[in-house]
Amino acid sequence: MKIKRCLISVSDKTHLETLASTLKKLEIEIISSGGSAKYLRDHGYVVTSIDEITNNPEILNGRVKTLSYQVSAGILFDRDNSSHMKDMEKANLLPIDLVVCNLYPFEKKMKTTKDLDELIESIDIGGPTLLRAAAKNYKHTCSITHLEDYEPLIEQLEKYSGATDLNFRKSMAFKIFSHTYQYDRLIAQAFSVENHSLRYGENPHQSASYIPNHSGPSLLNGQKLHGKEFSYNNFLDMENSLNLISELNLLLPNFTHFSVYKHGAPCGVASSQSSTIEQTLKKAWSCDPISAFGSILCSNVEIDEDAAKFISTKFVEIVMAPSFSNHALEILTQKKNIRIYKISPYKTLKEKSIRQLTGLDLIQDTDLDYATEVTSVTKSSFDEKNLGKFGVITCKYLKSNAVNIVSRSNSTLWVSGAGCAQPNRLDSFALAAKKHYEYKKNPELTEAIESSILISDAFFPFDDIVKLCTEIDIDQVIQPGGSKNDQMVIDTCDDLDIAMKFTGMRHFNH
């Protein structure tokens, strides 16, 4: 469909004359207002003023000029919808087939001032509305915002005699929604500095703030009962620990769960069906008591007096739980620097995770799955259903390469050794094995280990780790499988009387 009418509203006039020249050659009517209209007229182009379309003058020093019933309808109507066509004819409205608009340079303004009143004047209202309308109706309307897209647009117009193809319009629509998304994020960042500042970022010399996204379960649903404000790192560890406890709570709902989180990874996790809250907490703490110094504790159950007494003897940054008994609060609030945060485990976990890089956002499905069916691949087998589930879930929250050793005594499950964030899986094993060995030799831990499993977040490319398992009395292993050397690893397990299961599911966490 040939473009008959183009709306131009740009703050950056770079290359505008080149585009206007093509529009003139193809006899495409130009609609414009304000500075854009003046610029085009000064360069000899015939321009239809917006107010001729809307019958409304530009007002409020330019704050209102393009927003109108007539313009919105001209951009949004569906050319294939007979009802839309009748509405347009009845109201005597004109179609707008091409929107060229770039927004007020809000990001540039942010670099020159932090004054919110000044920044507000650089927030574009009409521009995003025009662009989003055109992008929504991409099947019929073309939208352009980036200067580098002028040349591809001109190529399209010349190739198709004043028209554009559907794939081009769709690709431009994606760029529009991405651009307005980032634009709105910048505005939210500017407001968050005043309204949602954090104590500091990853380090004290870095300022930080947060932006509520109101998209489901959130840390902000909780209530701080005591202590100073949170920092950037606190939020990261709080989110990770609450996610872990939430996932364990969904998987093993009749268990008491405790996690001890530090620097982006759990240094202790325990779950129990029969132990007291204090006993489960102590078990989680004993996984790595040195690393637990300055950690974040998270549980799915109320913190009682006995658990609070134990916590009060330790240096803990934050305690998170659905509730706290009155006696527990009396004990914990005597520690000035501890943060007490009342929050329940999430009932559902977010389905998408987003990580912002320079110039792009990486979006993926959140790793909420685990293998419900595992395959025994060795002569020896084992049946540790809950311990296996517990081990795989806790392993997911370790940074790759991850090796996790979990143990069981009666109905209590815990991480007895973990190694992660190493480029070499053997180094991760060495860390996990050391902690597991130290745990078993700890004279304060009288509870005997009845069973242990080693879990890897990715397959074993060689049989070196299974050979090393014999040195720490591990004879049960869970791994994804999928290596070209799987059979060699299986054969070694059979020779050493080690039972191994394949999950068929990798759990990298970078």
Give mean pLDDT in consecutive 10-residue pieces for the chain, a chain of 510 residues.
92 94 96 91 93 77 73 90 90 93 88 86 90 96 96 96 96 95 88 81 90 82 94 94 96 95 94 94 93 96 97 97 97 95 92 85 88 92 91 95 94 94 93 89 72 95 95 95 96 97 94
Whole-angstrom distance, CA of residue 418 vs CA of residue 425: 12
Q: Using the CB atoms, write b or e for 264-282: b if 16+ within 10 Å.
A: ebbbbbbbbeebebbbbbb
Quote the pLDDT of residue 368.
87
Whole-angstrom distance, CA of residue 145 vs CA of residue 159: 21
Phi-psi region of 44 (alpha: psi -120 to 50; beta: other; left: phi over 0): left
Task: Tell me which amino acid residue 86 is.
Answer: K
| Range 477-482, long-range pairs (CB < 8 A, 24+ positions) | 477/453, 477/501, 478/374, 478/388, 478/391, 478/392, 478/453, 478/454, 478/503, 479/455, 479/503, 480/456, 480/504, 480/505, 480/506, 480/507, 481/375, 481/377, 482/506
How many residues are given for the chain? 510
Whole-angstrom distance, CA of residue 409 vs CA of residue 407: 7
Whole-angstrom distance, CA of residue 79 vs CA of residue 84: 7
Residue 276 CA to chain centroid, in angstroms? 35
Q: Which residues contact 509 (CB under 8 A, 6 or more apart)?
A: 367, 396, 397, 398, 399, 400, 402, 457
In 3D space, the residue among 312, 339, 335 whose CA is nearest the CA of residue 229 turns out to be: 339
Whole-angstrom distance, CA of residue 194 vs CA of residue 499: 57
Quote the pLDDT of residue 51.
83
Whole-angstrom distance, CA of residue 388 vs CA of residue 402: 15
Give the global pTM. Answer: 0.83
SS3 218: coil
Whole-angstrom distance, CA of residue 379 vs CA of residue 475: 12
Quote the pLDDT of residue 445.
66
CB distance 145 to 179 below 8 Å? yes
Quote the pLDDT of residue 467.
96
Quote the pLDDT of residue 444.
67
Alpha-carbon distance values, 312 to 34, 296, 305, 316, 461 (Å): 66, 13, 10, 8, 45
- Tokens encoding 307: 């658990």
CB distance 362 to 355 below 8 Å? yes
Question: Which domains, ranges and CATH numbers included, belong to the chain?
Answer: 5-194 (3.40.50.1380), 221-342 (3.40.140.20), 369-502 (3.40.140.20)
Alpha-carbon distance values, 212 to 164, 199, 322, 341, 359 (Å): 39, 17, 21, 18, 22
Quote the pLDDT of residue 1.
74
